[in-house]
Amino acid sequence: MAAEDLSTTRKALYASAALGVGSVDYIVAVFLLKYYTDYTGLEAGWAGLALLLGKAFDAASDPIMGYISDHTRSRWGRRRPFVLAGSIPLAISFAFMFSASPEWSQTHLFLWLTATNILYWVGTTMVEVPHAAYGSEMTETHAQRISLMGWREGFKTIGLLLGGLIMFSLLESSVGAATADAAARGVAGDALTEVARFARGEAHHVIATWIGPYILGTTLITFLGTREHEGTHTPPRNTLFGDFTDTLRSGPFRFYAFVAIIGQVADGLTATLALYAIGEWWGFGDPHSKYILIGYMAMAALSIPVWVRIGLHFDKAKMMAAGTFGTTLALIGMLFVPQLGLWWAYAMLYFAGVGLGGRSVMMVAIIPDIIDDDELHTHTRKDGAYFGMFSLLRKLSRSLAIGLSGLGLGFFGYASGVAHQSPDALRGIVIMFCIVPIIFSAVTSVLLLFFPITRAHHETTLATLRRRRKMTDRTSGMDA
């Protein structure tokens, strides 16, 4: 495991794969549910259930992928081949998810969304789990891990920003062209609204198809631009069950997983329901929804270098708590948008973006410290297994949030394709977009203050591991 500084070029090449994943992640989180409810006509409850089943089915692949990459040996390394190979089903399934037809039956739509969503998350797993584990193995110091994960999460956030810009801009262009042509032919009123709705829905597939090569290109850069080097790693267990149970035996990991699940459910609810809140609850249509959400991601990206610099001097968990608490304050502020108006909506979403930047970096940077603590106690190192388990829990949390969003919209009476929602439907959006995330985020920020692996604790762990590795190397040399 390298303790030396990593060059800027190496960090950037490593982080490239996160650009493509980030772009599609944003589009799926923000646009997919609304695409199926408002364009294809799939009932919100069925759409939410399909997404929930897709992610729940996929979640089991995360620890398996971690285990496989831990045990893979090839001329290209054990992580990089999966990063490249996973981009293929990821790109294909992403295009297929947005190719449904409103002429299909409810059953057809439900099965199509479930199947393509499963394939999408399998491809995402193949890219993200080995990629994160690869980063964990590249360096071990506090400063370098925060810096490397800052690059990774920074590129992913830029990808999120690009995905949002591409989707918003091209959808707006497609709708504008279709409505202008229809208006020139004398179409007006509700008929013109229907033209816009169908044009918007059909444009999703064209955009998703073009993004596929971009996903392949970003992962290819990471594959070709980096090289894996074998370090002084102890071998993982010979069974998936052994690796799996070790992650659950780790007290710090159990604590962190519990906290992360709560926080991810909160994030998933706000991400999935953002367009519903902006358009239905606050009443701000295009172009404000685009500028608000793109600005949110831009603030996250711009804040990451600041979070990284500050994080070099403080405990990672406390920095993550600070970012989460900032998001909590922003969500409380969003409750007053109907009274204070558009400018307040911009201010609160942008402030929430700053909190997102800090959370995204520290959330991933903490995992390698937990792996070091586990290696100290078990004498084995399982980067893939831990990142696989963390990815599993993260996806289950997000799938729960997406499923609850769809089921909740159906429960509160959200109606697809109507100009104005009922008071009950609006109340449901407020509860799921603001109230529940406020409670969950507040709990997360408080619990993080009690995370047991501090910076001082981790430095002591590293010192012990280095002494042990030197003794092992000397013993191996004598045996040879």
Q: What is the pLDDT of residue 3?
A: 45
Residue 28 CA neighbour count, 13 Å, CB half? 30
Q: What is the pLDDT of residue 164?
A: 79
User: How much is the average pLDDT of 382-408?
Assistant: 81
Alpha carbon separation from 5 to 139, 144, 301, 456 (Å, rounded)? 8, 7, 23, 20
Mean pLDDT of the chain: 85
240/450: higher pLDDT: 450
Q: What is the pLDDT of residue 233?
A: 53
Question: Which residues, other chains included, contact 1 with Cβ-Cβ below 8 Å and sequence gap of 6+?
Answer: 137, 139, 140, 231, 232, 233
Q: What is the pLDDT of residue 475?
A: 65
User: How much is the average pLDDT of 318-332?
Assistant: 95
Question: Which residues, other chains included, contact 174 with Cβ-Cβ below 8 Å and sequence gap of 6+?
Answer: 199, 200, 202, 203, 206
pLDDT tens string 91-123: 999 989 998 888 899 999 999 999 999 999 889
Residue 445 CA neighbour count, 13 Å, CB half? 21
Alpha carbon separation from 439 to 78, 234, 265, 345 (Å, rounded)? 41, 42, 11, 20
pLDDT at 232 over 50: no
Q: Could you tell me how far CA 101 lies from the centroid of its own chain?
A: 27
Q: What is the pLDDT of residue 451?
A: 95
pLDDT tens string 122-155: 898 899 889 988 888 888 777 788 888 888 888 9
Q: Percent of the chain, pLDDT > 70? A: 93
pLDDT at 1 over 50: no
The confidence band for 239, taking pLDDT boundaries of 50, 70 and 90, is low
* 156, amino acid identity: K
* 402, amino acid identity: I
Note whether 68 and 78 are within 8 A (CB).
Answer: no
| Lowest mean pLDDT, pick from 172-181, 216-225, 357-366 | 172-181
C-alpha closest to that of 394 among 366, 372, 354: 366
CA angle at residue 292 from 291 to 293, to 5 degrees? 95
User: How much is the average pLDDT of 403-427?
Assistant: 81
pLDDT tens string 5-47: 788 898 999 999 998 888 888 788 778 888 888 888 888 888 8
pLDDT tens string 293-321: 888 888 988 999 999 889 888 899 999 99
pLDDT at 427 over 80: yes
How far apart are the C-alpha atoms of 164 and 172, rounded to whole Å?
Answer: 12
The confidence band for 419, taking pLDDT boundaries of 50, 70 and 90, is low
pLDDT tens string 244-287: 777 888 899 999 999 999 999 998 899 888 888 998 899 887 77
Q: Class of the 12-474 domain?
A: mainly alpha
Burial of 189 (0-12, 13-18, 19+ CB in 10 A): exposed
| Lowest mean pLDDT, pick from 95-99, 176-180, 220-224, 476-480 | 476-480
Q: What is the pLDDT of residue 8?
A: 86
Question: Can you read off the two tokens belonging to residue 111?
Answer: 């099965």
pLDDT at 56 over 80: no
Question: Which residues, other chains included, contact 439 with Cβ-Cβ below 8 Å and sequence gap of 6+?
Answer: none
Note whether 112 and 50 are within 8 A (CB).
Answer: no
